[in-house]
Structure 1
């Protein structure tokens, strides 16, 4: 039984980023940096448990046999010590040795199809595994060619990574491939910490009763995500808003166009979550830190944090063009 997503205290940016990724998987997943014990894995598990079941035929790798009914949204943990074979899949040795048949044994990517793939301390994962994961997450397909096998199967999932920067940084070119990046910190407000303790204690003592007490809030959150998924493709983004997004990316020095594309997709998803038919500059500004903070080059003459640089650029643009 998972802790209710709606019952998580604080960490608003992380929860918003996860909901945006749930609305539009093309955004490219979420990287969560922050202290240990701040609810990172709890939030991801809670969101996966909150989402409605998906058709069994869309979950996990299909070997050709039809599957009926529906199943919970997959949530797969990828351990740091996972080998490449365990991640992508390999030859089924038991069937090969016992029956002399070459068969494919699906890996973690196959199990995550249609759901979430979570990697704790992704900054400690071997670079070639991270490369592989990001390539598959971007293409939505896993290709395995080894031991005379050639297998291609769908692997569409939301990639969620978490880590503590003090334990090692993720390479910039890999970090850039994550759609959104959020920062979580240990709460400093006494009331918030007490609320967290109360809810965790209540869940530990009577999980079923606690989950039931949050059922109404969970249904409300689920309806919000469902409506946003259905509406986000129709959300209008005007040329003025596109121009505003591009000017912002130029102002902060974001490399390439991936940041702008993510910025617009995230703004459209947020507008859909808000029930708006049109994405505005305010939606762009709201998602700008999470879409851009991990794409900025370090400036040796400006040691200001990425988030502050983005906020300062937004203020400058607002002064130059109040209509934005």
Structure 2
């Protein structure tokens, strides 16, 4: 049995995680990100506990062995259901299960999970206790600093204290409030101001807890700076929209130092590592576009990047499209410096 007190990716080093993003971090995306980084902690999209228990599990939470370390993020507020979903996740081989206490969407609120749970720390504590009793893998929480008009410091510290008392040792904190009315989920990712200082205070006053910082981190250089304060950092849109940043993730994890220089040779090598996975999925009938949609930003800012994106966007969706589309897209990039 695994040690419940171990850090979630088994590394005695800083953490770099890719955020759970609905409609984005599916299994094809995660395998692409794994081709870019051996050590980054990958997260699934949020899946409700009810869906895990009653739904098509292979479709909803199936993953490839190469994805490890990988976290299943669960949505829910019923301790018994979250415990059962956690048992299923452990049986599937997940390295960690996480409770979503940060998503502000209307659908999440109507199901009584996500950011609205920031106002119910006792409920979250009960869920953590039930999940920890059910599994040996780590049970963690991802949250905001507060919701709506609630005072951030009192809300965050009170929430973390009560949930930590139930046994949660790892918190990923999106350093913004969530506004449950008046802002869309997209606006909630940008409009509420970031408060890194508050999360830094949490880490300083709760040094026994593992605190990962999430929100607004755009580069590996920024991530490296934050690792001077926090145990780990989580990248969301930056990892998805400019995935080449993940090429520097392993160095960041190993040394705590981030760098942002684009490396064409490493990007091409990552595509070669991803190619066998693409070939296997195509043979199973998966559409090429289901995989290439996650790769559009790989060469952002490089000569030929626009033609790369256009070729993949227009041709990968066609019936029967195969890896020849990828090769055509690659032909538009200026590769002289690599192939010379």
Tell me the TM-score normalised to structure 2 length.
0.29
Higher relative CO (Cα under 8 Å, sequence separation at least 6) belongs to 1
More helix by share: 1
Radius of gyration: which is bigger? 1
